Structure 1
Amino acid sequence: MPDAAVPRTGIGWDTHRLVAGRPLVLGGVTVPSELGLDGHSDADVLTHAVIDALLGAAGLGDIGEHFPDTDEAFRGADSMVLLRETVARCAAAGWRPVHADATVLLERPKLLPYKPAMRANLAAGLGVGEDAVNVKATRGEGMGPVGRGEGAVAQAVVTCVPV
């Protein structure tokens, strides 16, 4: 079991290409856009980064070990469901999340109007108050794959404490 006095922090990072014909799902929110993220599941890059950070804090590997893209059971999966399952696995290992901070890098569309709903969804999935989750968004300013509108990246940090 974990040391009762020592919190842990994990870092998560994910990226997906933008393609036509797919919804743009970020933090469980479908954002109106002509392009969506390509992936085996719903390709929710933000939630995937949070899941990886959560798994890192609990010392449980990464998202691909738990929900592999080679498993048809996860084709089209709702990443918010995967987040709740990850929280349950972390709890079974003796850890619960207490804080998450995440950043989405996406050239367009602007995410400001959707951030409160993303924050609320992630907080509910993590089982924490909305004040314990922060979601930020930034652009690539025309540089690199994000700046050229080729894809999206998300980074997250999650802190867990022993149950």
Structure 2
Amino acid sequence: MRIKVGFGFDVHQLKDNHPFIVGGVNLEHHRGAFGHSDADVLLHAICDALLGAANLRDIGFHFKNTDPRWKGISSLILLQETVKLLKEKSFVVGNIDAMLCLEAPKINPHIPQMQENIAKAMGISIEDISIKATTNEQMGFVGREEGVVAYAVCLIEKV
């Protein structure tokens, strides 16, 4: 078996009175992430990690932000499509480790639901999905609540 590691990063601008979906969970907050799809920064970083590990380019290559098919779509669907692309190349996912960076809202209470959503979309165990969160200590665009950042690493195996 060949083991590969991938890294993903995503960032989205936050806007007032906009939905804030992270890990497939709609968070209650006065600001939300803005983007072509549902702007789920966590799932976008995970998709990029998976695609990169399999040498399949990046999320923008497969799900262009100029394509009306992806306008407003749930990023859980993008994640499912990403996993299909990996399966076509005979890869299975070993694990995901992800980090969210935002000032608010608090993410900890939502992590179990995010893990469940991701596990279901990917067809893997919740035990194989780690999600953590931190603040930016009120520094920079994240600290001013102008944006949200996510990082993800993954392990995939060729079968």
1:99 has 2:106 as partner: no
1:79 has 2:72 as partner: no
Structure 1 residue 114: deviation in Å?
Answer: 0.5
Structure 1 residue 20: deviation in Å?
Answer: 1.6
Aligned to 1:17: 13
Aligned to 2:125: 129
Quick one: which amino acid aligns to residue 60 of structure 1? L
Aligned to 1:39: 35
Quick one: which amino acid aligns to residue 11 of structure 1? F
Aligned to 2:150: 154
User: TM-score under structure 1 normalisation?
Assistant: 0.95
SS at match of 1:86: helix
Count the aligned residue pairs. 159
Taking the aligned partners of 1:20 and 1:94, their CA distance within structure 2 comes to 42
Identity %: 44
Q: Deviations over 1:97-155 (max 9, x none)?
A: 11000000011111111111111111222211011100000001111111111110000
Taking the aligned partners of 1:136 and 1:91, their CA distance within structure 2 comes to 27
SS at match of 2:111: helix
SS at match of 1:85: helix
Quick one: which amino acid aligns to residue 23 of structure 1? P
Q: Which moved more, 1:124-133 or 1:44-53?
A: 124-133
Q: Could you tell me which runs of 5 or more consecutive residues in structure 1 were left unpaired when the two chains were aligned.
A: none
Taking the aligned partners of 2:21 and 2:50, their CA distance within structure 1 comes to 20
Aligned to 2:56: 60
Structure 1 residue 21: deviation in Å?
Answer: 2.9
Taking the aligned partners of 2:112 and 2:136, their CA distance within structure 1 comes to 22
Taking the aligned partners of 1:134 and 1:124, their CA distance within structure 2 comes to 14
Taking the aligned partners of 1:8 and 1:126, their CA distance within structure 2 comes to 17
Quick one: which amino acid aligns to residue 31 of structure 2? L
Aligned alpha-carbon RMSD (Å):
0.8
Quick one: which amino acid aligns to residue 7 of structure 1? I
**Runs of 4+, deviation exceeding 4 Å:** none
Aligned to 2:84: 88
Q: Could you tell me which runs of 5 or more consecutive residues in structure 2 were left unpaired when the two chains were aligned.
A: none
Aligned to 2:113: 117
User: TM-score under structure 2 normalisation?
Assistant: 0.97
Taking the aligned partners of 2:113 and 2:136, their CA distance within structure 1 comes to 23
1:143 has 2:139 as partner: yes
